[in-house]
Amino acid sequence: MHSADEFIQHLQLEQHVEGGYYCSSYRSAQQFDDARQLWTSIYFLLRDGEVSNFHRLTADEMWYFHAGQSLTIYMIDEQGELTTAKLGLDFAAGERPQFLVPKGAIFGSAMNQPGFSLVGCMVSPGFTFDDFELFGQETLLAMYPQHQQVIERLSRKIKS
């Protein structure tokens, strides 16, 4: 069994602004438009105590489970409804090995057990940081006070 540090070193992962570690693993040679590739893919890793803070993309993002512990993706849709999806391999516990986060959803993730979680994320059209919006806790609590517990867990005390 590999450790989180082995994956970070071998895959040359760097700290991500939303939390955890990542690296680009592929950028399509085909263009979607003048600014973006048709699709892009990253490795993303969370360790104990780390979360993927709430953010939003302007494109769909497919998540793929690779190794470690399962994680839960938390999504707030445009109507303010909070839904979750468990990413992992324990089918009896409702986990699945891949899941699509639809564009426009505000989402973040956290592990379900101690350890680490290594996933892959594919975005189409291809990811650029121009399409990325990170949310601060104050903003989200003003918008969705009914989700206070998960917002406090998956966001920082910054203004967005």
User: Is the pTM above the cut of 0.85?
Assistant: yes
Span 110-125, pLDDT tens digits? 999 999 999 999 999 9
| 91 vs 97: CA distance, rounded Å | 9
Task: Please give the domain boundaries of the chain with CATH numbers for all domains.
Answer: 4-154 (2.60.120.10)
CA distances from 114 to 71, 117, 146 (A): 10, 9, 27
Q: pLDDT by residue (tens digit) across 31-88?
A: 999 889 999 999 999 999 999 999 999 999 999 999 999 999 999 999 999 999 999 9
